[in-house]
Each structure stands twice: as C-alpha cells, then as structure tokens.
Structure 1
Amino acid sequence: MSEVLTTEIAVIGGGVSGLASAFRLASEGREILVIDPDLDAGGTSFGSAGTIADYAVMPVGTPALLRNLPSLLLSRDSPLSIRKAALFSLAPWMARFAWHSLPGNCRRNADRIARMLSEVPTGWANLLMEIGAEDLMRNRGCLYLYSTRSAFDRAGGEIAVRNHFQVPQELLSQEETAALEPALPPFEGGSVYFPNASHLSDPGALMGRLKAATESKGVAFLHAAARALERTSDGVMVSCGSSKVRAKTVVIAAGAHSKVLARQAGDRVPLDTERGYHVEFDMDTPPLSRPVCPTANGFYLIPMAGRLRAAGTVELGGLTAPPSAKRLTFLEERARAVFPSLGAPDRTWLGFRPSMPDSVPVIRASKGGNDIIFAFGHGHLGLTLAPVTARMVSDLIAKRKGVA
C-alpha cells in the first residue's frame, strides 16, 4: 500500500519558479511540500544565461521572425533548429506560433510580457535580500551586438517597441561599445545597451541558496516525480511512484514537464519544449564584464565566477532526444568567432525551456478550479520572472485581487 503524505500546498517542480513560489508561500505561513525527482540539480535555471532580462518585452514570435522563418529553419548557421523526428508532433505548436507572430498578436503579447517585467527589479531585490544572495548579482547592464549597420536598422521595430514600454536602452556606436567592453572585436553596427539589466555570477549557487532558504522556512521536500494527479472529495491526490501526496492546493511548476499534469487537471495547454544549450570555458578572469548577445547568432556570452558561459540557441525537439552535437558545436564556434583564443569547452549542458506559442507564461488557476494553480511556460524568462511568478501564485491561492 502506498504511503500517503498530507500537506496544505504541494508544489510540483523544484526549479526557480517552484522554489520561489514555495519560499513566498512558506513566508506567509503556509504548509508546503515541494515534489521534484532531482531537487539538487537546480532546474533549467542552473544552466541558463543567468540574465535578469527586464528589457525582454519582445515575444519570440514577431513579424520579422515569421518572415525569416523558412531561411532560419533551412540554414546550417541558424540559431533555430527543429529535430526532423519532431516535425509532425510540433506542427500544431508551430501553427499557433505563426499566428501569434502576426503584428497585432505580437503587440498584445509584448504588452502582457511588459506588465510582468515591470515588477522584476523590485521583486529580485527583495528576493535576494530575503535569501541572503545579494553578492551573486552583478548590476552591469547587457549589450545586444549588431555585426552590420543594416542588421541594426532591421532591429528598429524592436527598439521602438521597447521605447513604447519605456525600457531603458541606449543606442551605442562601435566606438562606444568598445569603450564598455574593450576585449570585443569590432561590431560595425554598434549595439543596444540595457543599463538596468543584471546577471548572476553563478546561477547554480543562486539555486542552492534559494533551496536552503526555502528549507529554513520549514518547507518539506519529496524526491520523486509527480506522475499523475486527481481531484478527490478531500483535496488533490498526487501520485509519485511509491508515494502519494494529498494537498488542499497543488501548484504545477514543473517547467517543460507540466503539459501532461495540466491535461490531467482538465486543461489542454499548447506547451512544448525548447532545448537550450550552454558551453563553458574555465578562466580566472573572463574577457567581459557584462552579458553580450551577438544578435545574428542568437546566444549570450556571460562572464561568471571562474568561467565564460556561452548559452542559447533554440532547438525544438522534445524531452527525450540526446544532446545535439551540432548545437554544441554551433555555440562553441560562435563563441570562438568572438574570442578566437578560447580553447576547448570545459563542460557542456542541455536543458529544457517550457515554451508557449505566444511567449506568455501560464500563471492562473486551472479551469477546473482554484485547487490547482498553473505556473509554467516561461520560455526564456523563467529566471527573470521567478519573483513575479511567486507573487502571482501567492495571490491566486489567497484569492487576492490584482493578479496580472
């Protein structure tokens, strides 16, 4: 007979959204149990670019990307790829993605994202203070780099959208860019500088401190995978292999693994998986002082503690396929194009981004009732939006007004 654990709130998912939500709920006096099969891995945020991207109001799907989608998918040098074996299963998601990339839909999605991002600076400042991790944050801004003037000109629409949402940004010449980052080679198109952006010197350390702070609040942890959930007369039952958990409320924050659980709650959510990669080069002093994104290649170079991380690209292809050697080689070669003296990577990583066709996270009650709360689908903004997600989850459970 299976063991049955009971709790007020079960949070499925020990990544940054789940842990931040658990920490906030526990701080409000709630009884919390976090369920995750690999609680020490840090989730996708462990291997992310580590950027707190409060400037990233643009959804992935834009009219410009839609126009260039065929060439992006066919080019060997593209930051976007789709595994051939996944083409059929991805077709419905891609159709929705194309629809959301139309001008009117893109503007509406940007507005929804911008409203959430407006809370990010205060949310992160408070969270870092509460968990004792202020020393991990670097407030040095971020650069988008453009290799040619025509590439910079093509970015005018996105620059205008950010201006509309009053995102602090500065348009820099090649010389001004070099003054900020002298080690960079020339980028003839100059750059866009986001002075208020920040990044983590060690995302893995941040996840460790967040978990420790959550534990200090009395949160319990179950090292298991949530396989199924079912509403019963006395709560929601979560099946976790040899264990079961009965909770008054369940928060589904399982990232890319959330789709099946949401379906069991009664909602068909068009969630799919972006496979994100990083390669790291160990060094005492990285050649950059802030994250930079060579926009033509769709990845970030980020200075971190004792290493330079190259993170990014988008590969659509599900949760089960092994890492793509081509994607890892792409990152390695593009990093070396910026800094030719880099040696072989010291480590590589693959993680799974939970992505919605509209790039807007799913943070709401399930259609079947407020006993199951959704908190997934953040795409590239999971780390950035973690404190905002926690606030929204807390408000939903407490039935407070004003949930974005």
Structure 2
Amino acid sequence: MDKLTTDIAVIGGGVIGVATALRLRSDGRDVVVIEPNKPGSGASYGNAGTIADYAIIPVGTPAVLKNLASLLLNADSPLSIRKAALPTLFPWLMRFAYESLPHRYRDNTSRIADLLSDASWEWLELAAEIGASDLLSAKGCLYLYQTPEAFKAAASDFELRRNYGVAQQLLTPDEVQSLEPRLPQVRGGGLFFPKAINFTDPGQVMSVMEAAAKRAGVEFVRDSVTTISRERDGVRMMASAHSIHARAVVIAAGAHSRGLALQLGERVPLDTERGYHLEFDMETPPVERPVCPTHHGFYLCPMRGRLRVAGTVELGGIGAPSNPRRLEVLLANARKVFPTLGEPSRSWMGFRPSMPDSVPVIRPSRGGRDVVFAFGHGHIGLTLAPRTARMVSSILAA
C-alpha cells in the first residue's frame, strides 16, 4: 500500500473538488485530489452546462409541497421517486417537506441568492485563469410558458427574483419567437435571463480545469477513500491502494460525501438525485441557448456538435441501475418541442448530491477546521464551483 503525506487532501474530483484544489494551490498549499474516476466525469460532465445565477429558488417550495404526493408517485413527472427507495428516503422526504413550508422556503431562497450573487463573474474569472474562456457562451437562458395561465402563475417567482436583483426579462410569445425562431409557438410567453453563461462542452471544461490543476502542481490520486479518521497531527484516509495523511481535508465527494461525514460523527441529511440526459449529434442545434419548457421541467442545451436534453429529478439513491422510463420521458417531451428529433446518439445517468433545503454544505466540520465540508450543491454545483473554492480557502486560512 502506498503511503502519501500532504498539506491538504481534497476527496472528490468533480468540479467542486478540482476548483477547490486549484484555489488552494494558488494559496501556496500542497494539494492532493483523491478521485476513483476520471476527474469531472460524473455530474460535472452530465449537467445542463449553465451557470445559473438566476436559480435562487429551492426545489422545495410551498407549491411543490402542495402537490408532493402526486409528483413523487407519478413516474412521468419532473420530480419522481423510485418506489423501492421510499423507506430509505423517508427521513429525507420529511425534512424536504418541512423545508418547503413558506417560512423555510423564504429563508432558503435568501441563502441561495446570497451564494449565487457573483456566480457568473467568478466563472468568467476562473475560465480566463485556466484557459477555458472560448468554451463559454454568454447568450443567456430562456424559460418557456406554454399557456397564459402558466405565465400568470409564475408571477410570484418573477417578483421574487426581481427582489433579489436577478436580471430577467419578460417576453411575449412573439418576442420568444424572435429570440429562438426554430421553437414552436408558445401561447404564454417566456422569461429570459440575459446574464446566464453556458458551456459549449462541460466535459471539455473539466479536462481543461484538470490540466490547469496539474500544471499548477496539484497531484491526482486515482483511488476511492473508504475510511477517514482524525489523528493528533491531522487526518488519516484509507483507500484501496493508498494510506493518505493530511493536515487538513476537504470532503467534496458529491453524492458520496454523507458516509465520510458520518465516520467523523456528523449526520448530514444528504441524499441523491439521479439526473439523466440524452444527446443528439447535429452540426447546428435548433436553439442558440439553453431553453427550459417549464411545464416539462427539462433543458434543451445547445453544445458543440450536439443537442443535450437534460434535467428532471428522480430520488432513488446511488445503488439502483438507470431507470429507462426517465429517458423515455425525456425523449417524449423533447419531441413535443421538436417532433423531428431522431433517435438519441447517447444517454447518461449520474448523481446530484441533494440537501432537503437545496442549500449546499460549505463549512468546517463540527470537530474542527481540519476537515471542511463542500458538498450538497444539487442543481447548482457547476454554478457555485468558484464561489465554493473561495469559501473553502477562507475557512482553511482562518
């Protein structure tokens, strides 16, 4: 078994872990990233590729709470659950229901809005630093409302975002058509977020980020941490082929973080959303920016040489296989927008680390600042990677 000693170990090589390692290395710290797979090959690759500075509204809302049972038990809804996982998920669901109450929803929205306030600017800065600026597109993001009634029902969300300073523009159906001419006509209208930034290839961004980290001197260890414990002079991690000792550890293992936190005596209410996407290879995607038909809860994402159809929420843990029904629903809904879409070129399923309040866990562990938590980002992990890295840096510098 190889023995390694380092200043800081980052457990997890997704976008949060690699961005954090880059930041800590720029602080002059020696950093090792421990990741069993290719860095950035999970949810950091499979997402909608959007820096969603507008995504201040948590998954749990009073409206979702009102319809929670019907949503969860409908296999075709944007929010569903694998029934076999219900007993295990029950405590998380109870906490989710509580966090969806009006007073908790308002507080959670405020906390998320604070985290997202500089997200686009921080990504522009990071992209320039690592040489990925050409992989970013600043064409914004578009929400679609199928009917005037749906558009009117979303008025409280419009006002909430406005109160938090989110840049947004209400569009008539004709203005939607002008912005995205190949979309079918919508009767309700649209909501345009002009400051949203899009990745033309999330996987390529992660490859560039990994390469930049290696050039900066970050060491990557291909292994999976199984045990973690505190010692008098630091933290000991055991992996399948390595024993690693570090002065401090950042747990950024996404959906796999809960068990590591539990070994340190902390019960974090983290569970897993299973995300899916389909891709259609094409030279010119039919939209110029991410487009979300809100009544179906997914994104049409133009990427380099392909259209990615991504989104929806399935609660079901990390052990069960991919659910073909979720992919069928994505395909059927995508064809409701673009009926001539052929068969998908490929499909994907991955895991989002999800907290009941939709607020990521970015803080020192209760046992001390020798272990820092940086997980639970849900749908905004890509968006918050640079901000999370900065916060972790500040914690470890204190």
Same fold (TM over 0.5): yes
Describe the SS at the equivalent of 1:92: helix
Which AA in structure 1 matches 2:283? D
Conservation of the 8 A alpha-carbon contact between 2:261 and 2:268: yes
Which AA in structure 2 matches 1:380? H
In structure 2, C-alpha distance between the alignment counterparts of 1:367 and 1:74, rounded to whole Å: 37
Q: Residue in 2 aligned with 1:402?
A: none
In structure 1, C-alpha distance between the alignment counterparts of 2:325 and 2:83, rounded to whole Å: 14
In structure 2, C-alpha distance between the alignment counterparts of 1:173 and 1:32, rounded to whole Å: 51
- Percent of counterpart pairs with the same letter? 58
**What is the CA deviation profile of residues 251-282 of structure 1, one whole-angstrom value per residue up to 9, with x for unaligned ones?**
00000000000111221100000000000000
- Structure 2 counterparts to residues 88-127 of structure 1, below 5 A: 88-127=87-126
Describe the SS at the equivalent of 2:383: coil
**Quick check: 1:384 aligned with 2:383?**
yes
Q: Residue in 2 aligned with 1:169?
A: 168
- Structure 2 counterparts to residues 195-206 of structure 1, below 5 A: 195-206=194-205
Q: Residue in 1 aligned with 2:274?
A: 275
Describe the SS at the equivalent of 2:67: helix
Which AA in structure 2 matches 1:213? A
- TM-superposed CA distance for 1:67, in Å, is 1.0
Describe the SS at the equivalent of 2:225: coil
- Structure 2 counterparts to residues 19-98 of structure 1, below 5 A: 19-98=18-97
Conservation of the 8 A alpha-carbon contact between 1:265 and 1:372: no
- TM-superposed CA distance for 1:73, in Å, is 2.2
In structure 1, C-alpha distance between the alignment counterparts of 2:62 and 2:312, rounded to whole Å: 19
In structure 1, C-alpha distance between the alignment counterparts of 2:378 and 2:245, rounded to whole Å: 29
Conservation of the 8 A alpha-carbon contact between 1:16 and 1:42: no
**What is the CA deviation profile of residues 274-302 of structure 1, one whole-angstrom value per residue up to 9, with x for unaligned ones?**
00000000000001000000011110000
CA separation of 1:40 and 1:395: change in aligned 2, threshold 3 A: closer
Between stretches 8-17 and 232-241, larger displacement belongs to: 232-241
- TM-superposed CA distance for 1:3, in Å, is 2.6
- TM-superposed CA distance for 1:243, in Å, is 1.0
- TM-superposed CA distance for 1:71, in Å, is 2.2
In structure 1, C-alpha distance between the alignment counterparts of 2:75 and 2:252, rounded to whole Å: 34
- TM-superposed CA distance for 1:39, in Å, is 2.5
Which AA in structure 2 matches 1:393? V
In structure 1, C-alpha distance between the alignment counterparts of 2:20 and 2:40, rounded to whole Å: 18
Conservation of the 8 A alpha-carbon contact between 1:16 and 1:43: no
**What is the CA deviation profile of residues 164-192 of structure 1, one whole-angstrom value per residue up to 9, with x for unaligned ones?**
10101111010000000000001111111
In structure 2, C-alpha distance between the alignment counterparts of 1:315 and 1:121, rounded to whole Å: 28
Count of matched residue pairs? 398
Q: Residue in 2 aligned with 1:359?
A: 358
In structure 1, C-alpha distance between the alignment counterparts of 2:382 and 2:270, rounded to whole Å: 18
In structure 1, C-alpha distance between the alignment counterparts of 2:70 and 2:39, rounded to whole Å: 40
**What is the CA deviation profile of residues 51-80 of structure 1, one whole-angstrom value per residue up to 9, with x for unaligned ones?**
000000001100111112122123343111
Between stretches 119-128 and 387-396, larger displacement belongs to: 119-128
- Structure 2 counterparts to residues 244-259 of structure 1, below 5 A: 244-259=243-258
Which AA in structure 2 matches 1:143? L
Conservation of the 8 A alpha-carbon contact between 1:266 and 1:366: no
Conservation of the 8 A alpha-carbon contact between 2:173 and 2:185: yes
TM-score between the two structures when normalised by the length of structure 1:
0.97
Conservation of the 8 A alpha-carbon contact between 1:54 and 1:120: yes
- TM-superposed CA distance for 1:84, in Å, is 1.1
In structure 1, C-alpha distance between the alignment counterparts of 2:157 and 2:69, rounded to whole Å: 21
Structure 2: state its 5+ residue gaps.
none
Describe the SS at the equivalent of 1:237: strand
- Structure 2 counterparts to residues 134-213 of structure 1, below 5 A: 134-213=133-212
In structure 2, C-alpha distance between the alignment counterparts of 1:77 and 1:177, rounded to whole Å: 27
- TM-superposed CA distance for 1:43, in Å, is 2.6
Which AA in structure 1 matches 2:258? K
Conservation of the 8 A alpha-carbon contact between 1:11 and 1:33: yes
**What is the CA deviation profile of residues 1-55 of structure 1, one whole-angstrom value per residue up to 9, with x for unaligned ones?**
x332000000000000000000010011110000000034533110100000000
Which AA in structure 2 matches 1:164? N
In structure 2, C-alpha distance between the alignment counterparts of 1:41 and 1:376, rounded to whole Å: 15
In structure 1, C-alpha distance between the alignment counterparts of 2:75 and 2:152, rounded to whole Å: 24
Structure 1: state its 5+ residue gaps.
400-404
In structure 1, C-alpha distance between the alignment counterparts of 2:352 and 2:240, rounded to whole Å: 25
In structure 1, C-alpha distance between the alignment counterparts of 2:333 and 2:301, rounded to whole Å: 13
Which AA in structure 2 matches 1:183? R
Structure 1: 4+ residue segments shifted above 2 A:
39-43, 73-77
Q: Residue in 2 aligned with 1:17?
A: 16
In structure 2, C-alpha distance between the alignment counterparts of 1:230 and 1:262, rounded to whole Å: 10
**Quick check: 1:338 aligned with 2:337?**
yes
In structure 1, C-alpha distance between the alignment counterparts of 2:242 and 2:290, rounded to whole Å: 43
**What is the CA deviation profile of residues 168-219 of structure 1, one whole-angstrom value per residue up to 9, with x for unaligned ones?**
1111010000000000001111111101111100000000000000001101
Q: Residue in 2 aligned with 1:317?
A: 316
Conservation of the 8 A alpha-carbon contact between 1:42 and 1:208: no
Which AA in structure 2 matches 1:19? V
**What is the CA deviation profile of residues 82-129 of structure 1, one whole-angstrom value per residue up to 9, with x for unaligned ones?**
111100010110000011101111010011001110121221111001
CA RMSD of aligned residues (A): 0.9
Conservation of the 8 A alpha-carbon contact between 2:75 and 2:81: no
TM-score between the two structures when normalised by the length of structure 2:
0.99
In structure 1, C-alpha distance between the alignment counterparts of 2:37 and 2:143, rounded to whole Å: 34
Which AA in structure 2 matches 1:260? G
In structure 2, C-alpha distance between the alignment counterparts of 1:75 and 1:257, rounded to whole Å: 27
Describe the SS at the equivalent of 1:184: coil
Describe the SS at the equivalent of 1:382: helix
Which AA in structure 1 matches 2:78? P
In structure 2, C-alpha distance between the alignment counterparts of 1:19 and 1:76, rounded to whole Å: 35
Which AA in structure 2 matches 1:182? P
